[in-house]
Structure 1
Amino acid sequence: MHYSTQVKPITHLKAHAAEVLLQIAERREPMVITQNGEAKAVLQDVASYEETQETLALLKLLAIGNRQVEEGKTSSLADVAERLHTGIQS
Structure 2
Amino acid sequence: MRLSQDIKPISYVKANSAKVLDQVNQGSPMIITQNGEAQAVLMGIKTYERLTEGIALLKILSISEKSIEAGEGLPATEAFAHIRSSIKEAKNNG
TM over 0.5: yes
| CA distance, structure 2, for counterparts of residue 7 and residue 63 of structure 1 | 33
Aligned Cα root-mean-square deviation (Å): 2.1
Unaligned runs of 5+ in 1: none
Q: Tell me the alpha carbon deviations over residues 58-90 of structure 1, each in whole angstroms, 9 at most, x when there is no partner.
A: 111111100111111123456543686387xxx
Q: TM-score, normalised by structure 1?
A: 0.80
Q: TM-score, normalised by structure 2?
A: 0.77
- 4+ runs deviating over 6 angstroms: none
Cα 1:73/1:25, change in 2 over 3 Å? same
Q: Percent identity?
A: 41
Is 1:3 equivalent to 2:22 in the alignment? Answer: no
Unaligned runs of 5+ in 2: 90-94
Aligned length: 86
Helix, strand or coil at the partner of 1:73? coil
Aligned match of 2:55: 56
